[in-house]
């Protein structure tokens, strides 16, 4: 699935975040993420959205309402919108760039919830902005928690991402439960699930 988080960080949070080692979340292993994410969730104002693989497959793909980029635009927009609804006044809104600014705005036009604050899409933003690093850590944590939950439900250890291991588990799930198990536990619009 996909987890998207919008976080509101103030200068008063900086010392706490640095002490926890909140930096580029790409540098943190999953064990460290599982340790610090609950502390971040408790302390930092944020909005988290988790799209399960099942829901993702219902929404994304040929002939469906969204593609892989537009669904991320929708989730980012909604998470930020919900956070702003709490009356927060961010100095700046930064998104870790996953598409061009023009493409982002093109997809944004289809969304019903809008806000007037300008946004910046910046590459590798999590290493430059603590709020993006916090969001990234919480999102990874939610993704891992969901993966663990799905693994327990299905009785197979689901690997994250694509690769040989994912293909192997996918074929085991197919054999055991049929296509519905894949639709429930994996994004199905990629080449390796065709």
**Is there a contact between 111 and 81 (Cβ–Cβ < 8 Å)?**
no
Query: What is the CB-side half-sphere exposure of residue 133 using CA atoms within 13 A?
Result: 20
CA distance 144 to 147: 5
Give the residue from 21, 19, 112, 108 showing the smallest Cα distance to 69.
108
pLDDT value for 153:
86
N- to C-terminal Cα separation, the chain: 17
Domains in the chain with CATH codes: 2-154 (3.30.420.10)
Average pLDDT over residues 10-18: 95
Confidence of residue 78 (pLDDT cuts 50, 70, 90): very high
32-46, 90-104, 164-178: least confident range:
164-178
Predicted confidence (pLDDT) per residue in 164-188, tens digit = 888 888 888 888 877 887 787 888 8
Does 98 score more than 80 pLDDT?
yes
Query: What is the CB-side half-sphere exposure of residue 100 using CA atoms within 13 A?
Result: 3
Better-predicted residue by pLDDT, 191 or 123: 123
pLDDT value for 190:
60
Better-predicted residue by pLDDT, 61 or 91: 91
Note the pTM of the prediction, 2 decimals: 0.90
Does 42 score more than 70 pLDDT?
yes
pLDDT value for 191:
55
Q: How far is CA 37 from the centre of its chain?
A: 14
pLDDT value for 27:
80
Token digits for 59? 């929404």
Q: What is residue 92's DSSP assignment?
A: -
Average pLDDT, the chain: 90
Predicted confidence (pLDDT) per residue in 21-32, tens digit = 996 567 899 999
CA distance 82 to 84: 5
Give the residue from 121, 65, 69, 60 showing the smallest Cα distance to 93.
121
Does 17 score more than 90 pLDDT?
yes
Let me know how many helices (H) and strands (E) the chain has, helices first. 8, 4
């Amino acid at each position: 699935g996909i987890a998207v988080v919008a976080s509101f960080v103030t200068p008063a949070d900086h010392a706490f975040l640095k002490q926890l080692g909140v930096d580029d979340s790409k540098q943190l292993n999953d064990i460290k993420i599982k340790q610090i994410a609950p502390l971040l969730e408790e302390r930092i104002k944020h909005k988290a959205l988790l799209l399960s693989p099942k829901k993702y497959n219902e929404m994304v793909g040929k002939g469906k309402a969204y593609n892989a980029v537009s669904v991320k635009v929708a989730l980012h927009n909604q998470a930020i919108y919900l956070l702003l609804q709490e009356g927060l006044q961010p100095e700046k809104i930064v998104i870790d760039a996953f598409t061009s600014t023009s493409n982002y705005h093109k997809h944004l036009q289809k969304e019903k919830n809008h806000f007037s604050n300008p946004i910046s899409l910046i590459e590798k933003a999590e290493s430059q902005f603590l709020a993006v690093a916090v969001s990234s850590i919480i999102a990874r944590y939610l993704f891992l928690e969901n993966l663990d939950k799905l693994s327990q439900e299905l009785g197979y250890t689901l690997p994250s991402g694509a690769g040989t291991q994912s293909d192997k588990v996918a074929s085991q799930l197919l054999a055991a439960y049929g296509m519905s198990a894949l639709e429930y536990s994996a994004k199905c619009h990629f080449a390796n699930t065709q």
